[in-house]
Amino acid sequence: MTEEKDPTSGLPETLSWQGGRPGYVRMVEQTLLPGEFTELEVKSVDQMVDAIYRLAVRGAPAIGVATAYGVLLGIQDLVGRTAADVMDAFAGTCSKLERARPTAVNLFWALERMTECAQAKVSEGASGDEIVGALFDKAMAIHASDKDTCQRMGAHGAELIKDGARVLTHCNAGSLATGGIGTALAPIYEATRQGKSVKVYADETRPLLQGARLTSWELAQGGVDVTLITDNTAGWVMREGRIDMVIVGSDRIARNGDVCNKIGTYSVAVLAREHGIPFFVVAPLSTFDMTLEDGSRIPIEERPAEEVTEPMGQRIAPEGCQVYSPAFDVTPARLVSGIVTEVGVIHSPTTAAAEAAFKQAGLEIPELVTPGEIKGSKAMG
């Protein structure tokens, strides 16, 4: 164990609201990292939808925060208008945002929290300005609570990390993917802060290279020992005995504990099981979709063929080559050793254990939905 130092102290703020009302969102332009560190100013809901779709802002919790801010961008100019006018603009804004990306349930979670807030004000007989004011407070609260949730997941997850641990991660589930210090990387940051020695192997994460471009960048910024590997090296480093545990994030977790995350996560989970390596997921309760019994119906985003055939603008496959590019996959709960949430670790996740975590957090458990009502299905075209 070494002396305490906070590896997150120098990390940039992934996104933030600037100014009051009216204001705008400043965010790190993640598509240009690590070559260029640029911040984008997002000033309209259309720009926000574009930023989410292009992955300028990405990662489930950060998408949730961006969505809440996107709602504000769509309604902030309605000054002195009726409640009905504000609610019309609100509905139009939400329907644009819900089409941005389909899989990360945090986007829909944020829209639900904003909708509950607006509807509560309407039923109190509030004016248009009062509704907009309440939505501003709600969006700021969503961001603040995401920061706090990341810290709490970090503390719970750090208990699982032994001094000297070698951890494999996939995609980027760090500060760049949240409004705080991350999900999967939060326990690594916290364990490092506590003075434990932690070594990370980061999968490069084809096709958009979030592991290579973002995880290896942000961990290095924080002074964490990180080694980049190609995706197809994961099995071999396990076989070589270099990995003690896997820690990943998630975009959506079904009620039974099936975990949807970046494409390639399922392969890592299967490899971990073969090698007897624990496979942990770190995700806030806002990433659980309790309306889905299991992971089989989670809408899986498909990305354009060019992201595979021309990564970083460099053609690597013949013109007209057929491509199948799902952006996410689903790891069955039986391969998951535990899910670290803000209220603690759900070991060997099951429906009963997920329900117990929701009860412990004082959250209502929603009804299961029919296929047509699945969150994200509208974004699938």
Q: Which stretch binds ligand MRU (CB under 6 A): 32-40, 70-78, 82-90, 248-256?
A: 248-256
Token output for 111: 């829209």
Q: Which of 8, 14, 210, 215 binds ligand MRU (CB under 6 A)?
A: 210
Q: Which of 60, 142, 259, 272 binds ligand MRU (CB under 6 A)?
A: 60
Contact status: 59 vs ligand MRU (CB under 6 A): yes
Least Å distance, CB 302 to ligand MRU, is: 12
* Phi/psi at 141 (5° precision): -70, -35
Contact status: 66 vs ligand MRU (CB under 6 A): no
Size of the site for ligand MRU (CB under 6 A): 18
Q: Which of 55, 89, 198, 336 binds ligand MRU (CB under 6 A)?
A: 55
Largest CA distance in the chain: 66
Least Å distance, CB 109 to ligand MRU, is: 13
Question: Which residues are within 8 A (CB) of 352 and not within 5 positions of it... i.e. 6 or more apart?
Answer: none
Pairing of strands 245-248, 279-282: parallel
Question: Which residues are within 8 A (CB) of 87 and not within 5 positions of it... i.e. 6 or more apart?
Answer: 118, 122, 131
Q: Which of 249, 257, 264, 376 binds ligand MRU (CB under 6 A)?
A: 249
129 is catalytic: no
Among 203, 251, 289, 329, the active-site one is 251
Interacting positions 306-345 with ligand MRU (CB under 6 A): 327
Contact status: 250 vs ligand MRU (CB under 6 A): yes
Contact status: 259 vs ligand MRU (CB under 6 A): no
Q: Which of 58, 193, 213, 375 binds ligand MRU (CB under 6 A)?
A: 58
- Is-contact 280 185, C-beta < 8 A? no
Q: Which of 7, 61, 70, 180 binds ligand MRU (CB under 6 A)?
A: 61
Least Å distance, CB 197 to ligand MRU, is: 24
Burial of residue 292 (CB within 10 Å: 0-12, 13-18, 19+) is: buried
Q: Which of 183, 192, 216, 331 binds ligand MRU (CB under 6 A)?
A: 183
Q: Give the start-end residues of each E strand in the chain.
A: 15-19, 23-28, 39-42, 165-169, 198-203, 225-229, 245-248, 252-254, 259-262, 279-282, 288-289, 328-331, 338-341, 344-347
Q: Which stretch binds ligand MRU (CB under 6 A): 54-62, 151-159, 229-237, 368-376?
A: 54-62
- Is-contact 252 284, C-beta < 8 A? no
Contact status: 14 vs ligand MRU (CB under 6 A): no
Contact status: 247 vs ligand MRU (CB under 6 A): no
Least Å distance, CB 301 to ligand MRU, is: 8
Question: Which residues are within 8 A (CB) of 276 and not within 5 positions of it... i.e. 6 or more apart?
Answer: none
Contact status: 171 vs ligand MRU (CB under 6 A): yes
Shortest CA distance to 224 belongs to which of 192, 186, 256, 268?
Answer: 192
Contact status: 193 vs ligand MRU (CB under 6 A): no
Pairing of strands 23-28, 39-42: antiparallel
Pairing of strands 23-28, 338-341: unpaired
Tokens 């829209």 correspond to what residue?
111
Q: Which of 261, 286, 291, 331 binds ligand MRU (CB under 6 A)?
A: 261
Contact status: 64 vs ligand MRU (CB under 6 A): no
Three-state DSSP at 51 gives helix
User: Residue 94 or residue 214: which is nearer to ligand MRU going by CB?
Assistant: 214
Cα pseudo-dihedral 318, 319, 321, 327, rounded to 10: 100
Annotated active-site positions, please? 251
| Residues in touch with ligand MRU (CB under 6 A) | 55, 58-61, 104, 171, 173, 177-178, 183, 210, 249-251, 261-262, 327
